[in-house]
Amino acid sequence: MFKIFQSFAGRWRIQRDIVHRTTTSIGTNSGFFSSSDSSNKCMTVNGSATFSPLIGENNTTVQDAYQYSEEGVLRQPDGQSFNVSQKYIYKLKDDIISVYFDEKPERILHTLEFKDSSLSSQVATGHHLCGCDTYDATFHFTSPQEFKIIYTVNGPKKAYTMTTKYFKLEQPS
């Protein structure tokens, strides 16, 4: 098996499908969860993501940590498009991968639980509760060059599934 955490390093091409299952308006400051005016509408995001070494205080590299940065274009069913971006921090400690919002003070999004409790597994899950909304994540690690994340989001005004596929870009020689 490959070392999952170490395989994150580098640039990735991303393809995201967001399928809404309600008629409610869903919006956030980041633009990722824009409103949908009818059920089962699909939005897409195409872009790139980078996992780079996390730089801490005193401009030193933080061991076993990556800054995740993502940029893309969200396309809505009505043809409108918007630039979107997102940042997270990924950390490895004691064979546990944790994902944090990129903000101060540090706030956890979720901790990945591997199906067989080892980093050699290919599927991991995470859970995040935000008010009345739940975010359930499933990470599928196909190879060091490909993985996908599926978020299922449910709440009083939210019901959607977001699937993001990651494809490793060749590193310049």
pLDDT digits (tens, 9 = 90+) for 107-118: 999 999 887 655
**pLDDT tens digits, one per residue of 71-106:** 999 999 999 999 999 999 999 998 899 999 999 999
In a domain, 44, yes or no: yes
Model confidence at 4: pLDDT above 70: yes
pTM across the whole model:
0.84
* Cis-peptide into 144, omega within 30 deg: no
Bin 64: left if φ > 0, else alpha if -120 < ψ < 50, else beta.
left
Is 143 among the domain residues? yes
Per-residue pLDDT, 121: 54
Burial pattern 63-88, b for ≥16 Cβ within 10 A else e, equals eebbbbbbebebebeeeeeeebebeb
For residue 45, pLDDT over 50 is answered with yes
* N residues, the chain: 173
Residue-range definition of the domain harbouring residue 123: 4-168
DSSP-derived letter for residue 58 is G
Domain annotation covers residue 159: yes
Sign of CA dihedral 58, 64, 65, 70: positive
Kindly state whether residue 46 falls inside one of the protein's structural domains.
yes
The CATH number of the domain holding residue 128 is 2.40.128.20
Residue 30 pLDDT greater than 80, yes or no: no
Q: Give the pLDDT of residue 41.
A: 81
Average pLDDT value over all residues in the chain: 87
Reported as a single tens digit per residue, the pLDDT across 111-162 is 998 876 555 558 999 999 999 999 999 999 988 999 999 999 999 989 999 9
Using only C-alpha atoms, the chain has a radius of gyration, in whole angstroms, of: 16
Number of domains in the chain: 1
Mean pLDDT within 54-81: 95
Decide if 146 is inside a domain.
Answer: yes
- Alpha-carbon distance values, 27 to 33, 100, 157 (Å): 5, 21, 10
Cβ contact 58:81 at 8 Å? no
Tell whether 82 is covered by a domain. yes
In a domain, 33, yes or no: yes
Say if 173 falls within a structural domain: no
